[in-house]
Structure 1
């Protein structure tokens, strides 16, 4: 199963709000992610640098970041835009990460 990893950046002072919003992630967004093959999806926060590190296992060839043409993802991006670094279309600024070690 392919794994995608990327980093994003949270604005300082918003870690609690970020956790709160993700604790109440919209069911229709979860359904879309699962329907398009995103299985496990984890996000880690480095509270010192405000960097978010995301890892997704997918059953296809695309990650959640490629679902930006869907209405629900665009609404989620707009909802999160006030607390994250974003692009002009409200998508989070994401930096793909290259795997350099794997231990099965």
Structure 2
């Protein structure tokens, strides 16, 4: 994979209004096919949403560029319809759900650390001259 193909991991948090959790789950059990295709074509890869019983939502996806993925979706008609329908589901949302989320900072990734460990083990060691 070249550096231009690097996928960045994006994790975000939102809060679903408790009284709307059942409807939110129902809507995500069968997302519109044109929305699914738009997400994939604009770079939202390996996208998952996790929802706690109290409405805490954690989303995760991988993309070459968060800004490009968001801009790509903003340019689609289906996203405008989806965001308009989803906006009322969230507590204290500043903007549309796909741009107003709180992005979380990744502090650990197993594969990254294993790759670093393997690279360090494969690097030639310098021998001291005494």
Q: TM-score scaled to structure 1, two decimals? A: 0.82
Take 2:65 and 2:21, find their aligned partners in 1: how far apart are those partners? 30
Higher helix share: 2
Q: TM-score scaled to structure 2, two decimals? A: 0.68
Q: Structure 1: which 4+ aligned runs deviate by more than 4 Å? A: 63-66
- Which protein has greater RCO, CA pairs closer than 8 Å, 6+ apart? 1
Structure 2 spans left out of the alignment, 5+ residues: 1-6, 112-130
Q: Which has the larger radius of gyration?
A: 2
Counterparts of residues 5-84 of structure 1 (less than 5 Å): 5-48=11-54, 50-58=55-63, 60-62=64-66, 64-66=69-71, 67-84=73-90
What SS does the corresponding residue of 2:83 show, helix, strand or coil?
helix
Higher strand share: 1
Q: Is the 8 A contact 2:49 2:60 kept in 1?
A: yes
Take 2:110 and 2:48, find their aligned partners in 1: how far apart are those partners? 18
